[in-house]
A and B are shown apart, each in its own frame.
Chain A
Amino acid sequence: MSDIRTRLRQSMLLAPTTLTLLVFMLLPMVLMAWMSVLAPDTYGGVRWKEWSLDAYVQFLYERDLDDSLTLNSDYLAIFGRSFLLAGFATVVTLLIGFPTALYIALKDEKTRQRLILLVSIPFWTNLLVRTYAWILLLRNGGLIDSALSVLGLSQGELDVLYTPTAVAIGFVYSFLPFMILPIYASLEKLDWRLVEAAFDLGANRWQALRRVILPLAMPGIAAGCLMVFIPAIGSYYIPELLGGGKSLMIGNLVQNQFGTARNWPFGAALSFMLLALVMVSLWIYTARFKRPPGE
């Protein structure tokens, strides 16, 4: 009796979480998975009773008029570009973020709090607005361009906006705090006496960094990389606004399929392939960093 009551109590307590996960996580996913194996309706939407794997075939092949399939690398190229841009953003934010986090972590308590506040200030404004601001900064005749022409380095033709470079700049700018904060969190917890021990054993600054600080900050670094890479690879409006729709990324492609292209199954299939990509990255992360060193 009491056993059943305890179980009932437990499930009641877990109900809100379970319900939230079911409604907001699992249900949309199932819906998308289902859509990805249906046939598209002419004006958007899907034909609910017509099964089709065309969406997944379409990713790699083009169906000619005579129903023969020819390899089409257009979508693979978009995936590749997304991967490259997100990867580039991850590397650059790491190169800027790690020294920044280390610098902050080495300051005294008061200064640290102030610097962390500065890092998080961008969150106070909407990201969309900040991305628009970058258009004003990067466009020909914009702030950066004008500044460069005053210095005689440009003749009003910066030509950066609406290129992959602009997208990369946008990524680095937007996601940098997501790299700094987790790395800082792991560096702040770091036992600096270990660094002292490394110096004591004859390690110079570089060796202490490479052999002690970096390995111990690894969980933070990995978390930061994921927190930059995952949103970057799926991002939609940064490539849309700064890339001018010319350098499409997965996010834009998905949006197109649900919008103008009216091919919902293909959009759903693309999202699932993105999901697979992200899952693989997460899997690598957990396989390597399930137990942070020292635990």
Chain B
Amino acid sequence: MPENRAAIEIDQVVKRFGDGEHAVVALDHVSLSIRENEFFTLLGPSGCGKTTLLRMIAGFEDVSDGDIRLYGDSLTGKLPFQRPVNTVFQSYALFPHLTVAENIAFGLEMRGVARNDIAPRVESMLELVKLTGFARRRPHQLSGGQQQRVALARALAPHPQVLLLDESLSALDLKLRKEMQVELKRLQRETGITFVFVTHDQEEALTMSDRIAVMASGKLQQVGRPEDIYDRPANRFVADFIGETSFLSGLIAGDQLLFGEAGSLPAAVLDSHREGLAAVAVRPERLQIAGNGQGIAGVVSEVVYRGVDTVYTVQLADGQPCRVRKTNSLGAARLAEVGQTVRLTAEPGAFHLLREAAHV
């Protein structure tokens, strides 16, 4: 990913709903830079402020404090129709009284595109979203996935500088959602438009994004590439929200990471070093179930077979629960049964040392 110039700069943005003491802070001094031609995702649980931020870029919410700039120009005070950005709404918001073609042409007409140029543009948009032949249909005659495509075509038709997508895939069923994820990525590549995507689905974010901003309770938690976020979560929230994680408390002493009665692992399993009590996070797939002798000891308390993999929950000897995931190969037997005592080992760097001190 080349380091492109910034398309959108979000500068110390604050959003307050209500006045005075009763004001609710939806966004708390958020600063972000979204690069040109980037697939950027705002990820977080509902109520984290991600949709509010998107609506502020679109112009549907005012900025209480701070500034949002599009290619250097402040958007403050500009009404939605004065901003060269388009939105794909969660509900699609297709105009029910217009045909598919008229829906797609709407933005072009509003932006004053010459009449003769509209029809070919609409046709090429239909082709882009693979809906050729659907021009005369009405939105209610289309399936959810098709409506989604029309909403995309409509928002892309005026060639916005930035496309905003608000939980756009959440109304689709799983299979269709997977298809659309690939489709969205393709559209972004082909059009070269900067996409800002809002979702609460971490898997969706990891699959599609060039970079992800994780948000929680109005604050930015971490910004980075999917790999950064998954492998080096900035804090406990990010580690917990993205993927599966076991949180453990240990004591780092010299070249050993001690887990009380469970035993110890070499300190090299940590991705950074610090002496003393430490909170660590480890992904279930980064742990191995080993034979006797080495590693930390525990008793298997649960085994869940999930087709592609099997998840073992191990109660460590010092009382902390920890999960291990193993991909299933054809005909392979289970590595352990409930009640069995096992030992766990890890590759160097598998454990992520969290910034906070040890937790209880």
Q: How far is the CA of A295 from the CA of B139 in the complex (A)?
A: 10
Contact at B140–A295, with CB atoms within 8 Å?
yes
A179-207 interface (Cβ within 8 A of B): 191, 193-194, 196-204, 207
Chain A residues with Cβ below 8 Å from B155 are 200-201
Chain B residues with Cβ below 8 Å from A295 are 140
Q: How far is the CA of A211 from the CA of B86 in the complex (A)?
A: 18
Q: How far is the CA of A197 from the CA of B85 in the complex (A)?
A: 12
Q: How far is the CA of A194 from the CA of B154 in the complex (A)?
A: 13
**Residue A152 interfacial (CB < 8 Å):** no
Chain B residues with Cβ below 8 Å from A207 are 110
Q: How far is the CA of A216 from the CA of B96 in the complex (A)?
A: 8
Query: How many A-B pairs with Cβ below 8 Å?
Result: 62
**Residue B95 interfacial (CB < 8 Å):** yes
Most A C-beta atoms less than 10 A away, residue of B91, B106, B140: B106
Q: How far is the CA of A212 from the CA of B93 in the complex (A)?
A: 11
Name the residue of chain B whose CB is nearest to the CB of A215: B97
Contact at B140–A199, with CB atoms within 8 Å?
no
Chain A residues with Cβ below 8 Å from B93 are 191, 193-194, 196-197
Shortest beta-carbon distance from B77 to chain A in Å: 15
**Residue B107 interfacial (CB < 8 Å):** yes
Partner of B86, one of A201, A212, A294: A201
Shortest beta-carbon distance from B48 to chain A in Å: 21
**Residue A293 interfacial (CB < 8 Å):** yes
Binary interface encoding of chain B residues 114-136 relative to chain A, with 1 for a CB under 8 A from any of its CBs, else 0? 00000000000000000000000
Chain B interfacial residues counted at CB < 8 A? 24
Contact at B95–A197, with CB atoms within 8 Å?
yes
Most A C-beta atoms less than 10 A away, residue of B59, B60, B86, B93: B93
**Residue B222 interfacial (CB < 8 Å):** no
B82-121 interface (Cβ within 8 A of A): 85-87, 89, 91, 93-97, 106-107, 110-111
Contact at A203–B110, with CB atoms within 8 Å?
yes
Q: How far is the CA of A191 from the CA of B91 in the complex (A)?
A: 10
**Residue B81 interfacial (CB < 8 Å):** yes
Shortest beta-carbon distance from A201 to chain B in Å: 4
**Residue B354 interfacial (CB < 8 Å):** no
Contact at B96–A294, with CB atoms within 8 Å?
yes
**Residue B58 interfacial (CB < 8 Å):** yes
Chain B residues with Cβ below 8 Å from A196 are 60, 80, 89, 93
Partner of B107, one of A202, A215, A294: A202
Contact at B89–A193, with CB atoms within 8 Å?
yes
Chain A residues with Cβ below 8 Å from B87 are 197, 200
Contact at B97–A216, with CB atoms within 8 Å?
yes
Contact at A202–B60, with CB atoms within 8 Å?
no
Query: With A216-B96, A293-B96, A294-B140 in contact, do A201 and B110 touch (Cβ < 8 Å)?
Result: yes
Q: How far is the CA of A204 from the CA of B87 in the complex (A)?
A: 16
**Residue B233 interfacial (CB < 8 Å):** no
Please name 26 pairs of A and B residues whose Cβ atoms are closer than 8 Å in the assembled complex, sorted by A. A191-B91, A191-B93, A193-B89, A193-B91, A193-B93, A194-B96, A196-B60, A197-B89, A197-B93, A199-B79, A199-B80, A200-B58, A200-B85, A200-B87, A200-B89, A201-B86, A201-B110, A201-B154, A202-B81, A202-B107, A202-B111, A202-B158, A203-B106, A211-B106, A293-B96, A294-B97
Interface residues of chain B, those whose CB is within 8 Å of chain A, are 58-60, 79-81, 85-87, 89, 91, 93-97, 106-107, 110-111, 140, 154-155, 158
Interface residues of chain A, those whose CB is within 8 Å of chain B, are 191, 193-194, 196-204, 207, 211-212, 215-216, 293-295
